[in-house]
């Protein structure tokens, strides 16, 4: 079972936010464990100080090395991966979340104020992790984002029939649009193919719609997907179908105007970039 220790000045934030939804259920069922610890526990003064002014001046306070070190040593063992949430780290991806879900023990260190003493980084941090190119006031939301996304890859956390492998990014594509009852709403109808009950046809249709949605919303992801598809096509001995992009274009052309509209695929301005 994956154990996660979060080092933070605000442990209540972690316990509270992690208690909802599939993550909260996963914790109740002991599919993973999350515990928060505060460096204040190791502060020796009556104010339980865990930060101080930076040497050389500058804005904000810096989290003290000693209290942080003692907290890290309290939880860390030889198989731990210690991660500092930081705007300077590589940005969290689906692939990274999958990899983190396979670890035995994660320690997330959350900075506050101006960050943490560099010597803690040099000595104890195995890697830095960012959740995006912007600055948060603390690492807690970053740790929670990482915990939420990795927990989806822990077997049993998602409910029956749900799988993270069908979500956006899992095959390098965004997910297709979804619909539920009623069939007609706001003058728009659910595409006929989804009502037909032919699972193989539906799966193939969803995959192609996913590719089109990715082309429209994330041309950068679509390009990587297309490169892989082209490579696979090149290696095919018997080519029963046309090139992947030509086949996708044919599929899009064959969609009715009504379906294109309800899928948000009426206009695909990036066709020329890939096709031309
Ligand atoms: C105000 S920030 C400190 C930023 C630091 N002075 C810098 O410029 O790199 C306070 C804390 O928020 C967290 N943090 C800020 N932005 C983050 C991001 N994009 N991803 C993950 N954690 C972040 C880090 O733990 C950081 O120590």
At residue 270, the pLDDT reads 67
Q: Which pLDDT score is estimated for 272? A: 72
Is any atom of ligand 1 closer than 6 Å to the C-beta of 213? no
Q: Are strands 62-63 and 51-52 parallel, antiparallel or unpaired?
A: antiparallel
What pLDDT score does 257 carry? 97
Non-local (6+) Cβ contacts of 140 within 8 A are 6, 8, 10, 13, 14, 85, 110
In short, whether 210's Cβ falls inside 6 Å of ligand 1 is no
Residues of the chain predicted below pLDDT 70 = 160-161, 270, 275-276
Dist. CA 8 → ligand 1 center (Å): 13
pLDDT on residue 276 = 58
Q: Residue 12 has what pLDDT?
A: 98
Cα 103 to ligand 1 centre (Å)? 24
* The pair of three-digit structure tokens given for residue 213, joined into one six-digit string: 């949605």
Ligand 1 centroid–CA 61 distance in Å is 13
Distance CA 103, CA 2 (A): 7
73-to-66, 68, 70, 124 alpha-carbon distances in Å:
11, 9, 5, 9
Kindly tell me the sign of the dihedral angle through the C-alpha atoms of 139, 33, 154, 179.
negative
CATH topology of domain 168-275: 1.10.1270
Distance (Å) from CA 74 to ligand 1 centroid: 23
CA-based nearest residue to 71, from 84, 54, 59, 90: 84
Is the CB–ligand 1 distance for residue 54 below 6 Å?
A: no
For residue 47, the SS3 value is coil
- Closest by CA to 124, choosing from 64, 91, 83, 90, is 83
pLDDT of 18 = 97
* 2-151: CATH architecture: 3-Layer(aba) Sandwich (3.40)
CA distance 117 to 119: 5
Could you give the CA distance from residue 159 to residue 126 in angstroms, rounded to a whole number? 33
Where do the structural domains in the chain lie, given as residue ranges?
2-151, 168-275
């Amino acid at each position: 079972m994956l154990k996660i220790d979060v080092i933070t000045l605000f442990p209540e934030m972690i316990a509270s936010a992690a208690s909802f939804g599939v993550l909260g259920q996963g914790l109740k069922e002991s599919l993973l464990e999350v515990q928060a610890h505060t460096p204040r526990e190791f502060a020796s003064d009556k104010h339980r100080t865990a930060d101080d002014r930076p040497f050389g001046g500058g804005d904000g306070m810096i989290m003290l090395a000693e209290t942080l070190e003692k907290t890290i040593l309290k939880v860390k063992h030889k198989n731990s991966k210690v991660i500092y949430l930081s705007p300077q780290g590589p940005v969290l991806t689906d692939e990274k979340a999958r990899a983190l879900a396979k670890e035995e023990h994660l320690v997330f260190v959350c900075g506050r104020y101006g960050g943490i003493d560099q010597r803690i980084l040099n000595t104890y941090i195995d890697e830095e992790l960012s959740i995006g190119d912007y600055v948060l006031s603390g690492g807690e939301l970053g740790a929670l984002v990482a915990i939420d996304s990795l927990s989806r890859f822990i077997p049993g956390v998602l409910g029956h029939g749900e799988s993270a492998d069908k979500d956006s990014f899992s095959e390098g594509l965004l997910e297709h649009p979804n619909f539920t009852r009623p069939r007609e709403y706001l003058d728009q109808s659910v595409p006929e193919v989804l009502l037909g009950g032919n699972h193989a046809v539906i799966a193939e249709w969803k995959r192609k719609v996913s590719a089109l949605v990715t082309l429209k919303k994330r041309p950068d992801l679509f390009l990587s997907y297309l490169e892989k598809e082209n490579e696979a096509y090149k290696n095919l001995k018997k080519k029963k179908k046309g090139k992947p992009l030509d086949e996708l274009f044919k599929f899009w052309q064959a969609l009715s105007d009504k379906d294109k509209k309800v899928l948000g695929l009426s206009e695909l301005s990036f066709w020329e970039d890939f096709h031309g």
